[in-house]
Structure 1
Amino acid sequence: MSDAGSGASASSPANTPATRESPWPVGLMSEKIAAWIDRLGTVWIEGEITQWQLRGGHVYGKLRDLTQDATVSFTVWRSVAQRLTGEFSQGDRVVALVKPNFWVKGGSLTVQVLEISHVGLGELLQRLERLRRQLQTEGLFDTSRKRALPFLPSLIGLVTGRDSDAEKDVIRNATLRWPGVRFQVHYAAVQGDRAAAEVAAGIEALDRHPDVDVIVVARGGGDFQNLLPFSDERVVRAAAAATTPVVSAVGHEADRPLLDEVADLRASTPTDAAKRVVPDVGEELAGLDQARSRMSARIGQVLASETERIAQLRSRPVLAMPERIVDERAEELVRWIARGTELAERTVEDRTRELDRTRARLTALSPRATLERGYAIAQLVAPGGVPGAVLRDPADAPAGAAIRISLAGGGLDATSNGA
């Protein structure tokens, strides 16, 4: 029996690789899938309930991933459903302990819920706090990153819910303040599982728009969970990466999603955002009138002061009788000219007398004066015919040497006969 059993087992399709020639039956493949999934055991998962139906004491529903497009069917058997302490409905965010099961007959995957509970507020707050610390460490909350809003944007980008009160508040109040303001509206879900992705996409789309000068993200008030999409990391990082200034106008004054921290400007409400983004035309016109009045008053004061100053200057003698100064200076100039002429003539005379005395001294000391008295100067003629050294001793002129004799009336050439 054992040999026969072994032979049957060896030739069983379950142990034979599937090929084109010997394929597996559908049931065999389904059984293998079911066996593999059964080995997964139990696992904790988190998601959003998109369907919750009670039939015969059992609950049948669907659970969707919070960030990805993934959904799984689940079943809560009567024994587990009777132990549930909370109320569950579509849209609830839950954590569940499940055991995956593959239904061979129907070829579908379901999960059996063993425990299920709402995601607690404390847990959400802890997650947000961890994300807040991470973003703060990265410097996304630094005030140095904040950009100033334009004084008067030509086109305002608005990310908000379709036909929402926030949209009406922003557009109405902005138009009342500046009638010519224009909007580029990007509609997005503002709560629920699609909100974060759509709001982030809206910020990115408006940031790429070449004419949008500022982006306003607006939503009316709501409870903590309804505002969670505006603390989602995708929304926060989209606002941080935008090159266009971003204004966060989410909820009421007490609400503080993470988008407020990274935005260039936080408005307490959508109405406040409209007031902060565009100036009030009435206030600006009043300011212009006030500035014009102050300028006119100041110019009037300056003109009056300068007029008085000119009158004072004109009353002074120098301007009242300018010829008087000319006459006084003319007389003084004549005296200085006469004095200068006298000094110049006296200086010329003194320098002439000094020059005559110097000329007389030079004449007396000049060798020519000595020659005039009958003396002569004898010089030995160097080669080339140039007079050289003065002869002081007959021995300096050997016989036949050429000598140049300078007299008062001229010069003579001679030849030495020797000493």
Structure 2
Amino acid sequence: MTAFEPVAVAGEAPPPDSVRPRDSSAEAPTSVARLNDTIRGFLQTWGSVWVEGEITSWNLRGGNVFGRMKDLVTDASITFRIWSSTRDRLPSDLKVGDHVIACVKADYFIKTGDLTFGVSAMRHVGLGDQLEKLERLRAQLRSEGLFDASRKKPLPFLPHCIGLITGERSDAEKDVHRNAELRWPQVHFRTRYAAVQGDRCVPETIAALKALDADPDVDVIVIARGGGDPQTLLGFSDERLVRAVAAATTPVVSAIGHENDHPLLDDVADLRASTPTDAAKRVVPDVSEQRALVGQLRSRLTMRLTQRVAHDIAQLEQLRSRPVLRDPASMFTARSHEIHLLTARGRDRVSRALDSHARHAAELTATLRALSPASTLARGYAIAHVPGGAIVRDAAQAPSGTEVLVTVAQGSFAARSEGPIDDGGSGGTTAGDVSGAT
């Protein structure tokens, strides 16, 4: 940084006479104008200097900027101005809360006695390096799988208790409470306050997260903060906080800043809400919408049940209108008549078959009888058998003394042959005297 050039310090020569007020006394005091002119002449000998601080005021009037910058450690501050010609060369995103370095030169207004500093250059402090570090950390955490959708836990439909981590008496707390209670009046919160920027932000947020995660009554945790510049949101991209959120067993919702803000907490959280208001709307269902949905479902269920009952009644009436169900006895009457006809027909066919077979059997019997020797025996003939069963057809087969079995129409008897008998020239012979009978 450039040092003040002509500032007098201990051990150095005092400023030249041109920048020192002339000797004065109570009898001969100097004028205010001369004093201011002397001070201005003294300050004009100073050169430009680079200073570091935080912008606390930024007022744009007529193209010029009038603001204040405070020290990062103490409450010391300075007033600065930026002319429009210089402002065009500065970053366009400068605003209240930015951590900057500026090249300033002292200027003293002799009419008002005000000391201000003109700014010739101003830029953010290390923001590019910080953003680069965040992108490297983002890539590392993504490679470890902390951003994967598969590891994100679903939010409960209606949480009984919502854990809220936010700044004490902050607008984010009011937004979450107001919007959640408008959607579901019975919603219950368990709030833990933590610093939302600065050195205390990360440890206090982690402590609050662990306390709510260990509470069995808490169903979901919301980390909420209002908008801010990237510098003030750096705590929500801290690796310690990001890993603590990834290790939590309770679903975590990130509601940091506005839509355009994107800290690393948004990527690792189970749900990213664009604003605290959006977080309340996405965590708690709308009671009016749910009532309307229940009414629609109830109406659809009533309609479906009514249609089903009407359909079943129509089918039942159709079944009852069928003849077999209207007069069940008719089915048995028709079947019994059919069975009677089939029985009669069967009996007739069996009777005719028996008669036919009886006639055929009689015919066969008559034929058999006509061919049978019994009919011949019935006319008075007899059959003689010699021992061995052979039928005597020639008288020579039964010489005298031969035992003969004689079969007649009604039984058989034994006889003895007396030899052949001459039949008077007829050329035949008959059995002789027989004796014995059976």
For normalisation by structure 1, the TM-score amounts to 0.55
Indicate the percent of aligned positions where both proteins have the same amino acid: 59
The 3-state SS of whatever aligns with 2:278 is helix
| Cα pair 2:52 2:100 within 8 Å, conserved | no
> In 1, Cα distance between the equivalents of 2:216 and 2:176?
22
Q: In the alignment, which residue of structure 2 is the partner of 1:87?
A: 52
Residue 311 of structure 1 aligns with an amino acid whose one-letter code is E
Kindly provide the CA deviation profile for residues 349-404 of structure 1, in whole angstroms up to 9, marking residues without a partner as x: x9xxxxxxxxxxxxxxxxxxxxxx99xxxxxxxxxxxxxxxxxxxxxxxxxxxxxx
Q: In the alignment, which residue of structure 2 is the partner of 1:277?
A: 283
Query: Aligned-pair distance for 1:330?
Result: 2.4
Give 1:173's match in structure 2, choosing from 179, 191, 197. 179
Give 1:160's match in structure 2, choosing from 166, 179, 183. 166
> In 2, Cα distance between the equivalents of 1:252 and 1:332?
91
Query: Aligned-pair distance for 1:343?
Result: 11
Going from structure 1 to structure 2, the CA distance change for 1:153 and 1:57 (only over 3 Å counts) comes to farther
Kindly provide the CA deviation profile for residues 48-85 of structure 1, in whole angstroms up to 9, marking residues without a partner as x: xxxxxxx9989xxxxxxxxxxxxxxxxxxxxxx97742
Query: Aligned-pair distance for 1:159?
Result: 0.5
Going from structure 1 to structure 2, the CA distance change for 1:280 and 1:118 (only over 3 Å counts) comes to closer
> In 2, Cα distance between the equivalents of 1:293 and 1:56?
89
Going from structure 1 to structure 2, the CA distance change for 1:291 and 1:204 (only over 3 Å counts) comes to same
The 3-state SS of whatever aligns with 1:297 is helix
Give 1:131's match in structure 2, choosing from 137, 141, 149. 137
Q: In the alignment, which residue of structure 2 is the partner of 1:140?
A: 146
Residue 270 of structure 1 aligns with an amino acid whose one-letter code is P
Going from structure 1 to structure 2, the CA distance change for 1:274 and 1:340 (only over 3 Å counts) comes to farther
Kindly provide the CA deviation profile for residues 219-269 of structure 1, in whole angstroms up to 9, marking residues without a partner as x: 011111111111111111111000000000011111111100000001111
Q: In the alignment, which residue of structure 2 is the partner of 1:241?
A: 247
* Structure 2: gaps of 5 or more residues: 1-6, 11-45, 54-70, 74-97, 102-122, 358-386, 389-438
Query: Aligned-pair distance for 1:87?
Result: 3.4
Structure 1 residue 251 and structure 2 residue 233: aligned?
A: no
Give 1:223's match in structure 2, choosing from 219, 229, 232. 229
* Structure 1: gaps of 5 or more residues: 1-54, 59-80, 96-116, 351-372, 375-419
Residue 86 of structure 1 aligns with an amino acid whose one-letter code is V
Give 2:304's match in structure 1, choosing from 298, 307, 316. 298
Q: In the alignment, which residue of structure 2 is the partner of 1:198?
A: 204
| Cα pair 2:99 2:231 within 8 Å, conserved | no
> In 1, Cα distance between the equivalents of 2:347 and 2:286?
82
Number of residues paired by the alignment?
254
Q: In the alignment, which residue of structure 1 is the partner of 2:195?
A: 189
Q: In the alignment, which residue of structure 2 is the partner of 1:288?
A: 294
Which has the higher Rg, Structure 1 or Structure 2?
Answer: 2
| Cα pair 2:134 2:237 within 8 Å, conserved | yes
> In 2, Cα distance between the equivalents of 1:219 and 1:56?
48
Residue 205 of structure 1 aligns with an amino acid whose one-letter code is A
Residue 218 of structure 1 aligns with an amino acid whose one-letter code is A
The 3-state SS of whatever aligns with 2:243 is helix
For normalisation by structure 2, the TM-score amounts to 0.53
Query: Aligned-pair distance for 1:321?
Result: 2.1
Query: Aligned-pair distance for 1:320?
Result: 1.9
Kindly provide the CA deviation profile for residues 95-133 of structure 1, in whole angstroms up to 9, marking residues without a partner as x: 9xxxxxxxxxxxxxxxxxxxxx97411101101001001
Q: In the alignment, which residue of structure 1 is the partner of 2:116?
A: none
Residue 52 of structure 2 aligns with an amino acid whose one-letter code is E
> In 2, Cα distance between the equivalents of 1:83 and 1:259?
41
